[in-house]
Chains A and B, each alone.
Chain A
């Protein structure tokens, strides 16, 4: 069965303190790994798609990387506005439309 876990469950950082979030997955035939940001009361906002091991994507203070078993979301010099829940999701299988979401990491960046 496809499974996605994320760690840590919650993370508190000081402004400017860089860190990484982890997404580990067990799927058969990965077709894509997706990172989302979700603010309270809002829908998830798409950040990145990664398709194969070794791939990296960057956007402002965020950088996502992918290996055969996990993905990392690196946050460099975070600001309070980066506070949100970060979700990863995987899509696997031959022709799947089911995106399996991890439980998320709640990030708080303190000024």
Chain B
């Protein structure tokens, strides 16, 4: 079992649907991440939230909309997706690193397998 919980585990949606992915952690981490992973590829960073504020957006299309309601929760709102958006979406968290200090590792959830039809 991981300490980062993602729901749902599987999601099938049409290109006109609106859906949301949810992520929760209770490790007291202040940085939360969304990654996208295609088959046999490494995870690709999408968004980073630091202290509940968006700090990194890796030029992700606007059909993906992140939200961080509080320090334990992270959502990814999906709208008008394309079939090529089908992938494993991973949420991760880490302790926020202060400048000059060593960084802590990412802790991942088990992901949401998204299929866009």
A32 to B109, CA, bound (A): 21
Asked whether, in the complex, the Cβ of B56 is within 8 Å of the Cβ of A98, the reply is yes
A37-65: contact bitstring with B at CB < 8 Å (1 yes, 0 no)? 00001111110010100000000000000
Asked whether, in the complex, the Cβ of A103 is within 8 Å of the Cβ of B31, the reply is no
Q: Does B90 contact A (CB under 8 A)?
A: yes
Chain A residues closer than 8 Å to B108, beta-carbon distance = 36, 43-46
User: How many A residues, CB 8 Å from partner?
Assistant: 26
Pick out which of these stretches binds chain A: B43-51, B62-70, B77-85.
Answer: B43-51
Q: Does A21 contact B (CB under 8 A)?
A: no
A91 to B102, CA, bound (A): 10
Asked whether, in the complex, the Cβ of B90 is within 8 Å of the Cβ of A102, the reply is no
Asked whether, in the complex, the Cβ of A34 is within 8 Å of the Cβ of B106, the reply is yes
Asked whether, in the complex, the Cβ of A43 is within 8 Å of the Cβ of B105, the reply is no
User: Which of B4, B40, B102 contacts A31 (CB under 8 A)?
Assistant: B102
Distance (Å) between the CB of B55 and the closest chain A CB? 6
Asked whether, in the complex, the Cβ of A95 is within 8 Å of the Cβ of B48, the reply is no
Most chain A beta-carbon neighbours within 10 Å: one of B6, B43, B44, B45: B43
4 more contacts with CB within 8 A, not counting A42-B110, A97-B56, are: A31-B102, A43-B92, A45-B2, A101-B42
By a beta-carbon cutoff of 8 Å, the part of chain A in contact with chain B is 31-32, 34, 36, 41-46, 49, 51, 87, 89, 91, 94-99, 101-104, 106
Can you spell out 10 A-B residue pairs with CB atoms less than 8 angstroms apart?
A31-B97, A36-B108, A41-B88, A41-B113, A42-B111, A43-B6, A49-B105, A51-B102, A96-B103, A97-B33
The 3 closest A-B pairs by CB, nearest first: A43-B108, A101-B42, A43-B110
